[in-house]
Amino acid sequence: SQQGEEDPQALSIQEGENATMNCSYKTSINNLQWYRQNSGRGLVHLILIRSNEREKHSGRLRVTLDTSKKSSSLLITASRAADTASYFCATDYGNNRLAFGKGNQVVVIP
Amino acid sequence: DVKVTQSSRYLVKRTGEKVFLECVQDMDHENMFWYRQDPGLGLRLIYFSYDVKMKEKGDIPEGYSVSREKKERFSLILESASTNQTSMYLCASSLPGRAGYTFGSGTRLTVV
């Protein structure tokens, strides 16, 4: 089954810095989504970008999608300690079924 | 606020027991999903349902079954629990063709 793969796997940054993580996938998608998971909890939907979109913003989040390279990036600007979490990309490969990557651990140091 | 509620946060069961994990959503969503999450493996889809009394196998259905008798409730059943089913189980729901899943808080199941 298709799966997104995040890179880097772990990121440690100072509060106020920007955090960037990437996701690659293998086949055509309808859309790509990013989720956040705080330790031991469920996932929270952050943002969705459709296959015909190249960039999308939501608050401090910026997502890009390059379908020719089959990759996406998530940028969190001006990070806060509360942004410490795992971030997952998920690809919609039809019928609203999502395939999740393994996740990317981000630690924001106050 | 919309919600997906999983009946237990933590569960400890013995090998061979039949285990029921319950998930209820209050958003009138057609789609419901069960995933398990394991370190290094990410989220893997076990079963999903697009409608009442309808179910489809996901990527790892072996050892599991599901029940969806009412739209708001999707139950995951471990017929005979084994230690390799120790995991975090996540339920999610969504509307067809709409943005994003809503997840429950998860059930951490330990089989001893």
| Average pLDDT of the segment spanning A62-79 | 96
Band (A79; pLDDT cuts 50, 70, 90): very high
The pLDDT tens digits for B13-70 are 999 999 999 999 998 999 999 999 998 888 999 999 999 989 999 999 999 999 999 9
| Average pLDDT of the segment spanning A66-74 | 94
Does the pLDDT at position A1 exceed 50? no
Which residues of A, range 56-85, sit inside 8 Å of B by Cβ?
none
Residue B54 CB partners (closer than 8 Å, separation 6+)? B68
Contact A45 B96 (CB under 8 A): no
Contact in structure between A15 and A81 (CB atoms under 8 Å): yes
* Residue A40 pLDDT: 81
CB atoms within 10 A of CB A69: 9
* Residue B54 pLDDT: 92
- For chains A and B, what is the number of CB pairs under 8 angstroms? 53
How far apart CA B74 and CA A43 sit, in angstroms, is 18
Q: Which residue of chain A comes nearest to B94, CA vs CA?
A: A96
Contact A100 B4 (CB under 8 A): no
